[in-house]
Amino acid sequence: MSRTTATVAASLPDHWEQLVTTALLGTDRRTPPGVAPGPQTPSDLLDAAAAATVRRRAGLCPARPAERLRPAPEDPRPPLPHAAARRLAALLADRPGASGGGRRGAAPDLMELLPQWLQAANARGYAAPPQALPALLDAARGRTDLRPAALRFAGPRALWLARLNPDWRFALRAAPGGGPSAPDLRDPQGIRRLWQEGLFAERVTLLTALRSRDAAAARALLEETWATERAEDRLMFLDSLRAGLAQDDETFLERALADRSRNVRETAAGLLSALPASALAARMAARAAVCVAVDRTRDVPTIVVEAPHECDAAMERDGVVAKAPAGRGERSWWLGQLVEAAPLGTWPGRLGGRTPEEIVALPVADGWQGELHAAWCRAAVRQRDAAWSRALLGQPSAPEAGGPGAVSLAERARLLAALDAGERAAWVSGFIETHGLSEAFQLLGVCAVPWAPPLGRAVVDALNIARDAGSYPWSFSGVMGLAERCLDPSEASRLDALLAIPDEPEDAAPGAGSYWSEAFQRLVTTLRLRGAMLAELTPGEPAP
């Protein structure tokens, strides 16, 4: 550091915003604090900015003299292997290109590989290198999807740093127990003091952390102050009960059904309906069962529906919203809510002992099939019922790929999430083989990573078919990006044959052949890079 820089660094307070404002306005209009105007002012401003940058990157901002800073806590986890540490530095140093469009080129997108690297490092229990923590926190600050994995990997030292730099304070809110005054969860007095005196964000973090450790204690803490909390706070606190929701929560949630806030009542009703043995679920089942029956007098047994004629006070207390959205009939709106909240175990007994597959195959009279099946879809998603999800999805090769109740790709994706990973992959593979990739993007997003071999082969084969047909290549950029992150790295060698530029049909999009070659080159390079990443995190395993 030059003498001028040292002088400026010692004399200037580290007011970064003031320095930025001065730079934007120009030193001829504003002089940096502590600097005399003159021809050297622009240089002094740059020196001050350089010194402030070093301070900010170090994580400690200048302040009044205070108690000596305590050392960062130790991280007991094993250190990263050297090759993996170098890889992490490269991933964190990568920045997306400035161009918002155009071709991506053949180089892998390293920032898109960072989530997978973090997941693998966390699975192996490694500690983050101290020198990587600032860049890791910066990456997590810019991408909320990275935060859970990044903060878990960064460990206790990240929270220590976050208390020193306002830019990283998000880590204190995002990490359980990360608040500046967060007590030991084994300290009942500290927990009670923070619950009574803490800021709202600290109390939410405390309740979430305690809920994961002792669900009953968290609920008891909430019950103590429930009557005095603000409505918006009650809603957030109630939402924290989703983690570890159990039958023991029913009594408290039943009381919340009488809350002054409609949003709180609806949330409590939604939680209770996810408990199949709850009294609310039984009440909803009784109401829904009255509305749906099988007419055996017809030539073919047919489901008949008699939707509710009114929404009474008891229904509203149990979470049924009385006012229908614009363009929606009131009776169908009420029916959908009742069927959605009723346990799916209600229907086999009510509808002649039939299985879910047999029930959804029955015709439904008077045009009620769409409404009834859509409500069953929502119930299957809420209750994570694999049998009903399977029945409502139907066969992937069905015309238009629509199951009996799956009226949209988004609903199919949600139903697939209730199946185990292998069955999910097999269903999506069949969908792609029959219908191609044009509508498969949402379905691929719910499949486990890395994709199972049959699914990976179906995706690659469909991409190859699209390439040979001269299809518009940019239409598949989303699926290609997913393949880069989700294909098994072992598939790389099988793709080498696709790297050549194919002959373009006469009706192909201009330049399509070179684009496809470039895209497959990026795919193969990315797969090999992912394989190398995993090998670096597993000492003794050779890189592919």
pLDDT in tens, 187-224: 788 888 889 888 787 788 888 888 888 889 899 999 99
Q: CA-CA distance, 433 to 430, in Å (whole number)?
A: 5
- Phi and psi of 503, rounded to 5°? -70, 135
450 cis-preceded (ω within 30 degrees of 0) = yes
Q: CA-CA distance, 102 to 259, in Å (whole number)?
A: 53
Q: What is the CA radius of gyration of the chain?
A: 29
Q: CA-CA distance, 117 to 533, in Å (whole number)?
A: 7
Query: What are the tens digits of pLDDT across the range 99-114?
Result: 344 456 667 888 889 9
pLDDT at 174: 66
| Strand, helix or coil for residue 205 | helix
The structure tokens listed for 2 are 């030059």
pLDDT at 200: 82
Nearest C-alpha neighbor of 260 from the set 286, 295, 289, 235: 235
> How many CB atoms are located within 10 Å of the residue 529 CB?
17
Q: CA-CA distance, 481 to 65, in Å (whole number)?
A: 51
Taking the alpha carbons at both ends of the chain, their separation in whole angstroms is 45
Residue 312 contacts residue 366 (beta carbons within 8 Å): no
pLDDT at 4: 46
The structure tokens listed for 416 are 């697939």
In this prediction, the residues of the chain whose per-residue pLDDT falls under 70 are: 1-14, 59-63, 65-66, 95-106, 174-185, 399-407, 500-511, 540-544
Q: Which amino acid is at 424?
A: R
CB-count exposure of residue 269 (10 Å: 0-12, 13-18, 19+): buried
Q: What is the pTM of this model?
A: 0.73
Distances from the Cα of 26 to the Cα of 11, 36, 167, angstroms: 21, 14, 25
| Strand, helix or coil for residue 391 | helix
Q: CA-CA distance, 115 to 326, in Å (whole number)?
A: 41
Q: Which amino acid is at 67?
A: E
Segment (H or E) for 292: strand 292-295
